[in-house]
Chains A and B, each alone.
Chain A
Amino acid sequence: MSDREPAHGATPAEVTDLVTALVLARPSGRMWKIATGIASLLTALLVAAIVVLLARGVGIWGITMPVAWGFAIANYVWWIGIGMAGTFISAALYLTRQGWRSALNRFAEAMTVFALAVSGIFPVLHLGRPWFAYWLAPYPDRMGLWPQWRSALVWDFFAIGAYVIVSVIYFYVGLVPDFAAVRDRARSHGRQLIYGVLAIGWRGEALEWERHATLARILAGLAVPLVFSVHSMVALDFSEGLLPGWHSTIFPPFFVAGALFSGAAMVILLAVLLRRAYALHGFITDEHLDKLAKMMLAVGWVVTYGYVAEIFTAYYGGDPYEVAMQRHRQQGAYAWLFWATIACNSLSIQALWWSRVRTNPAALAVISLLVLIGMWLERFMLIVTSLYRDFLPSSWGMFYPTLWDAAFLAGSIGLFALLFLLFVRVVPVLSIAELRRHAAERVDNRP
Chain B
Amino acid sequence: MSPMKPEAALRDALPPPGSPRFWRALDELAADPAGRGLLAAAWPSLAELEPALDRRGFLRLLGASLAFAGLAACSGPPPEHIVPQVGRNGRTAPRSARYATAMATGADVVGVVVTLQDGRPVKVDGNPRHPATLGGSDACMQAAVLDLWDPARSDAPRRNGTPSSWAAFEDDAAALRRQFGERGEGLRILSGAVVSPTLARQRDALLARYPAARWHVHDPLRGRPADVWPDLSKARTIVALDADPLGGFPGHVRHARDFAAMRGDTNAMPRLYAIEPAPSLTGRNADHAWPVAASALPAIAAGLASALGVPADVPDLDALTRERIATIAEDLHTNAGASLVLAGPFQPSAVHDLVRAMNAVLGNEGTTIHDVPSHDTGRPLGELLEDMRAGHVETLVLLETNPVYTAPGFADAMRTVPRSVHLGRYRDETAEAAHWHLPALHPFETWSDLRTLDGVASIVQPVLAPLADARSVHDVLDLLTGAMTDDPLKRVRATWPDLDDEAWTAALRDGVVARPADAVGAAMAARKSRPGSTPLAAMAAPTGKDALELVFRPDEFLWDGRHAGNAWLQELPRPVTSLTWGNAAWISPALAEQRRLRDGDMVRLAIDGRHVEAPVLVVPGQAANSITVTFGYGRRSGIADGLGYDAYALRERDDTWHVHSVELTPLGRRTTLAWTQTHQDMGRRDIVRAGTPAHPPHGSDKTPASFYPDAPRGEYRWGMGIDLNACIGCNACTIACQAENNIPVVGKEEVARGRRMHWIRVDRYHEGPAAAPRTYHQPVPCMHCEHAPCEVVCPVEATVHDSEGLNLQVYNRCVGTRFCSNNCPYKVRRFNFLQYADLASESLKAMRNPEVTVRSRGVMEKCTYCVQRIERAHIDADREGRRIGTGEVTTACQDACPTRAIVFGDLGDDASDVARAHRSPRRYVLLEELNTRPRTAYLGALRNPNPAWRDA
A-side interface residues toward B, CB under 8 Å? 56-60, 62-69, 126-130, 132-133, 135-136, 145-148, 150-154, 157, 237, 240-243, 320, 324, 387, 390-398, 400
Contacts and interface: CB of A to CB of B under 8 A. Distances in A.
10 contacts: A129-B859, A135-B815, A146-B797, A147-B795, A148-B795, A148-B797, A392-B926, A393-B685, A393-B687, A400-B753
B823 A58 contact: no
Given A57-B833, A136-B815, A393-B683, A242 B823 contact: yes
B815 A64 contact: no
Top 4 closest pairs, chain A to chain B, by CB: A128-B816, A128-B858, A59-B833, A59-B834
B843 to A, nearest CB: 25
B816 A392 contact: no
A362 B834 CA distance: 45
Nearest to A143: B813
B687, B822, B832, most chain A CB atoms within 10 A? B822
Contacts of B827: 65-66, 390-392, 395
A128 B683 contact: no
Interface string B443-480: 00000000000000000000000000000000000000
Nearest to A146: B797
A236 to B, nearest CB: 10
A366 B859 CA distance: 43
Given A57-B834, A66-B822, 12 more contacts: A57-B835, A59-B857, A128-B817, A128-B857, A128-B858, A148-B794, A148-B796, A150-B792, A154-B795, A324-B683, A393-B765, A394-B680
B838 to A, nearest CB: 15
Contact of A391 (B791, B793, B927): B927
Contacts of A151: 792-795, 819
A64 B755 contact: yes
B830 interface: yes
B198 interface: no
A127 B822 CA distance: 14
Contacts of A390: 825, 827
B763 interface: yes
A394 B761 contact: yes
A68 B763 contact: no
Contacts of B789: 241-242
B141 to A, nearest CB: 26
Nearest to A324: B683
Nearest to B856: A129
B754 interface: yes
A11 to B, nearest CB: 55
B793 A66 contact: no
Interface in B694-743: none
Given A65-B821, A128-B818, A58 B793 contact: no
B761 A56 contact: no
Contact of B833 (A63, A392, A393): A63
B684 interface: yes
B813 A392 contact: no
A329 B888 CA distance: 48
A87 B818 CA distance: 31
A396 B822 CA distance: 12
Contacts of B926: 392
B55 interface: no
B319 interface: no
Contact of B822 (A129, A387, A400): A387
Given A62-B753, A65-B755, A240-B792, A394 B677 contact: yes
B828 to A, nearest CB: 9
B930 interface: yes
B189 to A, nearest CB: 48
B360 to A, nearest CB: 44
Contacts of A150: 792-793
Contacts of B753: 62, 64, 400
Interface band, chain B:
35 or more
B678 A396 contact: yes
B815 to A, nearest CB: 5
B814 interface: yes
B858 A392 contact: no
A150 B819 CA distance: 13
B679 interface: yes
- Among A240, A397, A398, the one with the most B-chain Cβ atoms within 10 Å of its Cβ is A397
B834 A145 contact: no
A129 B816 contact: yes
B930 A320 contact: no
A128 B926 CA distance: 29
Nearest to B793: A151
A408 to B, nearest CB: 15
Contacts of A64: 753-755, 833
Interface in B504-520: none
Contacts of A397: 678, 754
B858 A57 contact: yes
A129 B814 contact: yes
A391 B934 CA distance: 15
Contacts of A65: 754-755, 821, 827, 829-831
Interface in B756-788: 761, 763-765, 778, 780
A135 B817 CA distance: 12
Contact of A135 (B678, B682, B764, B813): B813
B765 to A, nearest CB: 7
Contact of B834 (A56, A133, A153): A56
Q: Which of B791, B823, B833 has the most CB of A within 10 A?
A: B833
Given A59-B755, A394-B677, A243 B792 contact: no
A391 B709 CA distance: 25
A153 B823 contact: no
Contact of A128 (B679, B685, B778, B831): B831
A324 B681 CA distance: 14
A293 to B, nearest CB: 37
A390 B824 CA distance: 10
B825 A242 contact: yes
Nearest to B681: A393
B761 to A, nearest CB: 7
Contacts of B755: 59, 64-65
B317 to A, nearest CB: 38
A68 B822 contact: yes
Contacts of B795: 135-136, 147-148, 151, 153-154, 157
B815 A128 contact: yes
B639 to A, nearest CB: 20
A127 B817 contact: yes
A391 B826 contact: yes
B719 to A, nearest CB: 20
Nearest to A133: B815
B780 A392 contact: yes
A304 B815 CA distance: 36
A56 B754 CA distance: 18
Contacts of A57: 832-835, 857-858
Contact of B684 (A67, A135, A240, A320): A320
Given A62-B753, A133-B815, A242-B825, A145 B797 contact: yes
A180 to B, nearest CB: 43
Contacts of A153: 793, 795, 817, 819
A402 to B, nearest CB: 9
A127 B815 contact: yes
Contacts of B680: 393-394
Contacts of B307: none
B860 interface: yes
Nearest to A136: B795
A394 B688 CA distance: 12
Contact of B819 (A133, A241, A394): A241
A148 B827 CA distance: 22
Nearest to B927: A391
Contacts of B681: 393
B793 A396 contact: no
Given A145-B797, A242-B789, A390-B825, A128 B814 contact: yes
A416 to B, nearest CB: 24
B818 A394 contact: no
